[in-house]
A = this chain, B = another copy of it.
């Protein structure tokens, strides 16, 4: 048992008490000095700060959390399904969100755990709430009618959803402006002369799917074109089989609006397999700007919304919730930007 640090007067981990003794003042005063109260003299405050620095005091979070009832942590329960391509979005989002949170407030912990959709999803949330591990939640991949939302509302736990629900007016949310985004993307293909444009959508369980559909329909209707919608999971080779089928059909579509870059990538791949030029013969637009869309050949056009914006919006709502109480739910719509890459570069389909 050697003493590690060589600072004078150092034996154990310093506490408020040891600092108080060291300075011959009370624990209360030390605490208040450090918390910036104004009933402590400038001189005392300075001494406390010095002592903290030389003794290397760091507050014990457990004790603080016990007494304040706040945990200074925010939780995110990931709905990952192993091997599912959708994990791409989540894993990148997570990294960015964590990073933003940290730069925004390094004292907020991010606790990551898992609550896959299904049986135990709600009970996992409940346990998390009850143990008071976190002050607030970020809820990912919201469904239209999402039981998690109700649970959190009932328990009066602050949270922000990433994606709207059918009861969006009751809770904080951020979301991409899927209607405008998909309308714009569809319109861009219409402008290029496409007549047969399909939407390859995600399952309608997610609300966002409805909104994307709406955007697509808006553009198609305005142009007097017949919409054609397909729904696919982003896993296994379902999107791939579907793409092959579509491309081989007579009177095959030439424009593809895809709800995910992964789907878009499968369309491109299927086209190449069939000897169809994914840039000249058809146009493909994906969504999310995942690495696959820039790394692939050809590069894939995509609807992008910055993780930075997502994260910042979530964090600012969370902060508002955790400090002064929010009287009314807040929300934020984030714009999509159409990134034109090779799969939509040709100017005129005839």
| Contact assessment for A112 and B114 in the assembled complex, using a CB-CB cutoff below 8 Å | no
Q: Tell me how far the C-beta of A62 lies from the nearest C-beta in chain B, rounded to whole angstroms.
A: 4
Total copies of the chain: 2
Could you give, for residues 32-67 of chain A, a 1 whenever the CB lies within 8 Å of some chain B CB and a 0 otherwise? Answer: 000000000000000000000000101111110110
| Contact assessment for B60 and A62 in the assembled complex, using a CB-CB cutoff below 8 Å | no
Say if the beta carbon of A296 comes within 8 Å of chain B: yes
| Contact assessment for B59 and A131 in the assembled complex, using a CB-CB cutoff below 8 Å | yes
Residues A113 and B110 in contact in the complex (CB < 8 Å), given A71-B62, A91-B91: yes
Q: How far is the CA of A65 from the CA of B59 in the complex (A)?
A: 14
Could you give, for residues 81-123 of chain A, a 1 whenever the CB lies within 8 Å of some chain B CB and a 0 otherwise? Answer: 0100101101110110011001100100111111000000000
In chain B, what residue has the closest Cβ to A298? B297
Residues A112 and B113 in contact in the complex (CB < 8 Å), given A94-B95, A292-B292: no
Could you give, for residues 14-40 of chain A, a 1 whenever the CB lies within 8 Å of some chain B CB and a 0 otherwise? Answer: 000000000000000000000000000
| Contact assessment for B269 and A58 in the assembled complex, using a CB-CB cutoff below 8 Å | no
Chain B residues positioned under 8 Å from A91 (CB to CB):
91-92, 94-95
Chain B residues positioned under 8 Å from A65 (CB to CB):
62, 65
| Contact assessment for A291 and B63 in the assembled complex, using a CB-CB cutoff below 8 Å | no
| Contact assessment for A99 and B71 in the assembled complex, using a CB-CB cutoff below 8 Å | no
Q: Tell me how far the C-beta of A251 lies from the nearest C-beta in chain B, rounded to whole angstroms.
A: 27
| Contact assessment for A66 and B60 in the assembled complex, using a CB-CB cutoff below 8 Å | yes
Chain B residues positioned under 8 Å from A73 (CB to CB):
111
Give chain A's interface residues, CB within 8 Å of chain B. 4, 13, 56, 58-63, 65-66, 71, 73, 78, 80, 82, 85, 87-88, 90-92, 94-95, 98-99, 102-103, 106, 109-114, 124, 127, 130-133, 154-156, 262, 265, 269, 272, 291-292, 295-297
